Amino acid sequence: MTAGLLLAAGAGRRYGRPKALVELDGEPLVRRGVRLLRDGGCAPVHVVLGAGADEVPDLPGTVPVRHDRWPDGLGSSLLRGLASLPAQVPAVVVVLVDQPLLSPVAVRRVRQAYAGGAVVAVATYAGRPGHPILLDRRTWPMLGGYAVGDRGARDLLRDRSDLVVEVPCDDVGSPVDVDTPADLFRLVNDGSASGAAPHW
């Protein structure tokens, strides 16, 4: 069993509204993120919600995780999400709500790396680490000193590169962030939002 964890708590200040609520192809990004994890074979799927949580549409079959300290940053959302997972979950795939061109294929690839013995499996694009990231439960206690402010697992992965297996995913999606309305406009108008297969 590999759980899925969608971090969707931020206020989206640069965007002007919580990015969980932003729609692409008529679908809120939070629902696309859930679909990404499910199609990638993750269960259970937990969704960390903060800003705009009361406006988030129903997400059947998921576990919503309310995070009132979301202003503390991405790191606190990651720790809150990990703490919410059942004790029997051995590993989790983490994704962010504002990367709508990630692919379920990438989720499956990091899960396959875990099945092959990886403690941490990180999708890479053009040789650079991105999401999804799979974290074995053994690494979760290590994150306390790293997941601070807007930093998640990145610094831990740098310091413990011996634990990391890189999983090339250039051919199945893109880690592009949707930080502003202009970013979303570019995705829609260059055709990548509907042309990439399959994505969240």
pLDDT by residue for the chain (200 residues), tens only, comes to: 899 999 999 988 888 899 999 999 899 999 999 999 999 999 999 999 999 999 999 999 999 999 999 999 899 999 999 999 999 999 999 999 999 999 999 999 999 999 999 999 999 999 999 999 999 999 999 998 888 887 888 888 889 999 999 999 999 989 998 888 888 888 877 755 543 333 22
Question: Which pLDDT score, from 0 to 100, does residue 115 have?
Answer: 97
Instruction: Give pLDDT, residue 64.
Output: 97
The alpha carbon dihedral of 86, 1, 5, 90 has a sign of positive
CB environment 117-126: b (16+ within 10 A), e (fewer): ebbbbbbebe
Distances 30 to 1, 36, 168, 181, 182 between C-alpha atoms, Å: 22, 10, 25, 16, 19
Tokens found for residue 54: 């009361």
Give the chain's end-to-end CA distance (angstroms, integer). 21
d(CA 61, CA 38): 10
pLDDT at 186: 83
